[in-house]
A and B are shown apart, each in its own frame.
Chain A
């Protein structure tokens, strides 16, 4: 079955289709996609993974057509960023 693997940084975006065995997991697709060689900074233990915007574990099974996404941590602290329609947080 075919799945997509995507990893996006502001400068460079990696988005490929990979063929995996039925019953493959998120880890299988990521390993097969070559993304770990092209982006050595990806840490399988530290970074979160997901399928179409929903966080999933590395052992989650995949369905045909899924998009495996490799996420990066936020830079901003959500409590410190000024939000529209909300009062400015005390410490900015």
Chain B
């Protein structure tokens, strides 16, 4: 009994010691500013800012390579929050929030080339070679990546119409 308790305690202490030292020695350095900025970004990894995802955008922001207005889906609120965290001032009087949008294909122009299907990161386009392509508006998150690849300029963004199903009470303006 005592031998069992003793041996398990020794094993526990030894393994705990190894894990503890490894965590110290092999710790991944995270810039606290970077993780704060990433928490402020929407996290949808849409790529509209030109970076691969929100983590890369946060890194660029922390290094000062990107403007605080880089995030189109975040709009004014995210730009203000980023500016506050970075301690910079930003003039947002000319900033226009575009609001939620979705992409749609002009069927008279679609030639069934499948280029937009390969580009879509959410598998939101139904279609195959030489068949009509249709964007599922439930899936589309308006990243706009399909627009430049379309050879016939058939894809356009449309604002999401406010219906009884999509309307929500506007958020109160927070005091700064």
Which A residues are in CB contact (< 8 Å) with B109?
Answer: 76, 81
Which A residues are in CB contact (< 8 Å) with B126?
Answer: 6-8, 53, 69, 71
Shortest distance between the CB of B115 and any CB in chain A (Å): 11
- Count of inter-chain pairs, beta carbons less than 8 A: 77
Interface residues contributed by chain B, number (CB under 8 Å)? 27
Cα separation A74 to B129 with both chains bound (whole Å): 10
Shortest distance between the CB of B114 and any CB in chain A (Å): 6
**B139 nearest in chain A by CB position:** A15
Question: Chain A at the B interface: mostly helix, strand, loop or mixed?
Answer: loop
Which A residues are in CB contact (< 8 Å) with B134?
Answer: 8-10, 13, 72
Which B residues are in CB contact (< 8 Å) with A74?
Answer: 110-112, 130-132
Q: Does A92 have its Cβ within 8 Å of any Cβ on chain B? A: no
**Chain B residues in the interface with A (C-beta under 8 A):** 104, 107-114, 117, 123, 125-132, 134-138, 151-153
**Chain A residues in the interface with B (C-beta under 8 A):** 6-10, 13, 15, 48, 50, 52-55, 67, 69, 71-76, 78, 81-86
Q: From the candidates A13, A50, A82, name the one contacting B128 in the complex (CB within 8 A).
A: A50
CB pair B111–A76 under 8 Å, yes or no, is yes
Which residue of A6, A74, A78 has the most chain B CB atoms within 10 A of its CB atom? Answer: A74
CB pair B111–A72 under 8 Å, yes or no, is no
List 17 extra interface pairs beyond A8-B126, A76-B108, A78-B113, CB under 8 A.
A8-B136, A9-B134, A10-B107, A13-B136, A15-B136, A15-B138, A48-B128, A48-B131, A71-B128, A71-B132, A74-B111, A76-B107, A76-B109, A81-B109, A82-B152, A83-B151, A84-B151
Q: From the candidates B104, B123, B132, name the one contacting A67 in the complex (CB within 8 A).
A: B123
Shortest distance between the CB of A70 and any CB in chain B (Å): 8
**B125 nearest in chain A by CB position:** A53
CB pair B132–A73 under 8 Å, yes or no, is yes
CB pair B127–A78 under 8 Å, yes or no, is no
Which A residues are in CB contact (< 8 Å) with B111?
Answer: 74, 76, 78, 81, 83
